[in-house]
């Protein structure tokens, strides 16, 4: 008899987990508090990012964060507040921002990103899907020598890790991106990366899952979890009670609210990011990051997306016009002919990325609950790590050999 699995959360992690579990013959139910057509999984930059092997918590980020804290349009904005979970997370973040811990995190982050990219390509090559996927790499644009040197130092680490990385002059960039009319000094070019159009993939994946027997309960909130003998015996939503052999927690920034019901604390803070869709022809063909501004630029199917900023300010979907304007201004600073209309800025979206203190996701079973598998805390790599997290969770639940070592991602790890 197939196992009955309930997945809490219907973002990229949740739907990819449902995909691999139904392939294993499991009966799968997905619960999501939204209509599953908005949020971080739909408005992100769509990057598959082996290049992003350095975690957010790095030496010097605390100093920058304190300076940026007083500027609501800065790339990394932390709203000070007297909240015990936020204060504990901040302390753990500070402890994680050391050279030793960053060096230890590089290999597991790179390994999981590379496998994630391979699995997207496997999905693309099946007869099940026809989503937009391009592997054109990622250009890290810089406007100052100082930032260029910093980016190249990271690039050299990438080369040591086996990635193909080049340091290009402005003239060399113009040869591969000839019509974008750039105002830069140069770029570090990662050939390893790919990009997609997230909302199109999400629609396609959800449609596939519905056709293949996965049940979706949309616009439902998990109110409680009933525990018996160290296991979740029932999931109580605002509309029903569900039984499950195994439960997967993939609720993103809302995950700590649910784990508290189990007496389990996983430090996560919501990191809000914004995106603007530009429908006019920007002549941009290769994804890029505008380094000084920390803005991502992605040529998607029918539009160009400008996305960025990290705003640690609790769970809310309030749009801050200053942060939207900062993204638009950054775009116009790097692309001389770029025009972003007032309407495009007014229709900007945001999403909440679940950020762990050390920049590593939580994947695996906690010792505090036998039939719960946790899959959250992916921060800015959530899109990149959707399929690989789903595959790993299916392997954990099916008691199969894991595709890679996940010790670094243990939900019970100490900070």
Within-domain flag for 43? yes
Task: Let me know: does 136 contact 287? Beta carbons within 8 Å.
Answer: yes
Range of the domain at 169: 4-409
Residue 303 counted as domain residue: yes
Burial 104-114 (b: 16+ CB within 10 A, else e): ebbebbbbbbb
Residue 160 located in a structural domain: yes
Identify whether 334 is part of a domain: yes
β-pair type (295-300, 288-290): antiparallel
CA dist., res. 7 & res. 374, Å (int):
10
| 14, part of any domain | yes
Residue 264: which CATH number?
3.50.50.60
Domains: count for the chain: 1
Assigned domain for 415 exists: no
414 in a structural domain: no
What is the C-alpha end-to-end distance of the chain, expressed in Å? 40
**Cα(304)–Cα(66) distance, integer angstroms:** 32
The tens-digit pLDDT sequence of the chain (415 residues) is: 489 999 999 999 999 999 999 999 999 999 999 999 999 999 999 999 999 999 988 887 766 666 666 676 777 888 878 899 999 999 999 999 999 999 999 999 999 999 999 999 999 999 999 999 999 999 999 999 999 999 999 999 999 999 999 999 999 999 999 999 999 999 999 999 999 999 999 999 999 999 999 999 999 999 999 999 999 999 999 999 999 999 999 999 999 999 998 989 999 999 999 999 999 999 999 999 999 999 999 999 999 999 998 989 899 999 999 999 999 999 999 999 999 999 999 999 999 999 999 999 999 999 999 999 999 999 999 999 999 999 999 999 999 999 999 999 999 999 9
């Amino acid at each position: 008899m197939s196992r009955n699995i309930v997945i809490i959360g219907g973002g990229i992690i949740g739907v990819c987990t449902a995909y691999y579990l139904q392939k294993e013959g499991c009966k799968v139910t997905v619960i999501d508090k939204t209509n599953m057509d908005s949020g971080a999984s739909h408005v992100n930059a769509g990057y598959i990012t082996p290049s992003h092997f350095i975690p957010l918590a790095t030496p010097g980020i605390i100093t920058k964060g304190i300076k940026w804290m007083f500027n609501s349009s800065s790339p990394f904005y932390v709203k000070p507040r007297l909240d015990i979970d936020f204060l504990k997370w901040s302390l753990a973040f500070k402890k994680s921002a050391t050279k030793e811990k960053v060096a230890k995190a590089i290999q597991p982050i790179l390994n999981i990103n590379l496998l994630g990219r391979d699995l997207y390509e496997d999905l693309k090559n099946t007869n099940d899907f026809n989503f937009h996927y391009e592997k054109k790499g990622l250009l890290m644009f810089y406007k100052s020598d100082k930032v260029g040197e910093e980016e190249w130092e990271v690039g050299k680490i990438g080369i040591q890790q086996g990635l193909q990385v080049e340091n290009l002059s402005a003239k060399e960039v113009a040869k591969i991106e000839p019509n974008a009319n750039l105002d830069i000094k140069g770029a570090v070019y990662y050939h390893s990366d790919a990009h997609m159009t997230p909302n199109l993939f999400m629609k396609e994946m959800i449609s596939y899952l519905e056709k293949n027997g996965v049940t979706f309960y949309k616009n439902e909130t998990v109110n409680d979890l009933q525990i018996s003998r160290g296991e979740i015996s029932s999931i109580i939503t605002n509309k029903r009670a569900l039984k499950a052999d195994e439960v997967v927690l993939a609720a993103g920034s809302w995950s700590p609210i649910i784990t508290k019901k189990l007496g389990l604390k996983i430090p996560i803070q919501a990191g809000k990011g914004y995106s603007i869709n530009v429908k006019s022809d920007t002549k941009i063909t290769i994804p890029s990051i505008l380094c000084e501004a920390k803005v991502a630029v992605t040529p998607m199917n029918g539009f160009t997306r400008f996305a960025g900023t990290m705003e640690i300010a609790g769970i809310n979907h309030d749009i801050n016009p200053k942060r939207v304007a900062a993204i638009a201004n950054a775009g116009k600073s790097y692309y001389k002919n770029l025009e972003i209309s007032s309407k495009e800025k007014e229709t900007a979206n945001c999403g909440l990325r679940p950020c762990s203190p050390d920049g590593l996701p939580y994947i695996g079973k906690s010792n505090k609950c036998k039939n719960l598998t946790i899959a959250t805390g992916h921060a800015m790599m959530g899109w990149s790590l959707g399929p690989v997290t789903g595959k790993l969770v299916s392997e954990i639940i099916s008691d199969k050999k894991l595709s890679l070592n996940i010790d670094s991602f243990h939900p019970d790890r100490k900070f």
